[in-house]
Amino acid sequence: MACQVKGTAFITGSGSGIGKATAISFAQNGIESMALVDLNLPLLERTRDELRALFPKIKVEAFQANVADETSVENAVRETVEHFGGIDIGINCAGISGAPTPTDRMTLAEWQKVIDVNQTGVWLCQRALIRQMLQQESRGGREGRGVILNVSSMFGVSGPPGPFDIPHYTAAKHAVVGLTKMDAKAYSRQGIRINAICPGFVDTPIIKQQIESGSMNAVFEMTPVGRPAQVEEISDAILFLSSPMSSYMCGAAMVVDGGFTV
Ligand code: NAP
């Protein structure tokens, strides 16, 4: 079996970084249509135009949405279904890092912002995707009704080392793994397959500044492979988790971190 995806994908955070690379991996490996979803309109439109130019046979639409806003998420899902007739694969990738601050100095507003996007945002998207997929016919075999993949972090399964004071981010990413396990069990018999990926450090805009300033060098030293992931190393793992190749994976939190948490 080849690592191929079919039908329509809905990808949040696809204006940039891992989400954008996932859209490209999907386009190279069989997807027929894609809804790109992001809050950042200039990035979103640029990515849509790049994809349309690179892959003229694939239908690509862009929907600006805030994953932390219930109505915005529901509108994005509804518009995707109106355009393409359904959603076969949902990738919940939108996220923010939040300023590093230890708990004793963190304000409630700083905490809440990261929780709203990285935790509640994933739940809102997952709920809207599940509601939609439950209305769709199963494709049968190893494909089922639909696939949902949540982008957590290696800090969704472990605590960050010393210099990373990110309690909000760590809590939210652990919650994403918990939500993945809960709903994977709840909806598996109805043909919806849900997993999470837990990347280590990835060379994307979210950490570009720290990489360029050299402040991450010590952390890369601590990583067995000695470097951050190239974004395609994560998007290709997402491709696998979204394809029927991974049909027996249910509620997994797949760590792709160059050995950092080993
Ligand atoms: P990125 O390049 O910054 O991409 C994230 C995208 O999500 C951006 O376009 C961002 O827009 C958008 N976004 C932010 N808040 C949003 C919201 N409320 N609604 C909709 N879209 C929103 O970051 P990335 O590195 O690809 O990260 C993608 C995911 O991977 C995140 O969940 C992140 O936590 C996770 N992750 C990243 C790493 C890493 O080292 N890069 C490691 C582990 C996990 P703006 O540009 O306007 O913010």
List pLDDT tens digits, range 97-155.
999 999 999 999 999 999 999 999 999 999 999 999 999 998 888 989 999 999 999 99
User: What does the pLDDT read at residue 139?
Assistant: 87
**From 113, 173, 208, 248, the catalytic residue:** 173
Which residue has the least CA distance to atom 45 on ligand 1?
Answer: 40
Q: Does residue 207 register a pLDDT over 90?
A: no
Neighbour order of strands in the sheet with 146-151 = 59-64, 33-38, 8-12, 89-92, 146-151, 192-199, 253-256
Section 62-69 average pLDDT: 98
Which residue has the least CA distance to atom 13 on ligand 1?
Answer: 94
Tell me the three state secondary structure of residue 118. helix
Q: Please, where are the H alpha helices in the chain? A: 17-28, 41-54, 70-84, 108-114, 121-134, 167-187, 205-213, 217-222, 231-242
pTM score, whole prediction: 0.97
User: What does the pLDDT read at residue 85?
Assistant: 98
Instruction: Indicate if 169 belongs to the active site.
Output: yes
Section 207-219 average pLDDT: 84
Which residue has the least CA distance to atom 48 on ligand 1?
Answer: 96
Domains of the chain: 8-256 (3.40.50.720)
Going by the DSSP 8-state scheme, the letter that residue 62 receives in this structure is E
Residue 48 token pair: 């849509």
Q: Does residue 212 register a pLDDT over 90?
A: no
Percent of the chain at pLDDT > 90 equals 89
Cβ–ligand 1 contact at 91 (below 6 Å): no
The residues that bridge with 254 in the sheet, in sequence order, are 197
Amino acid at 72: S
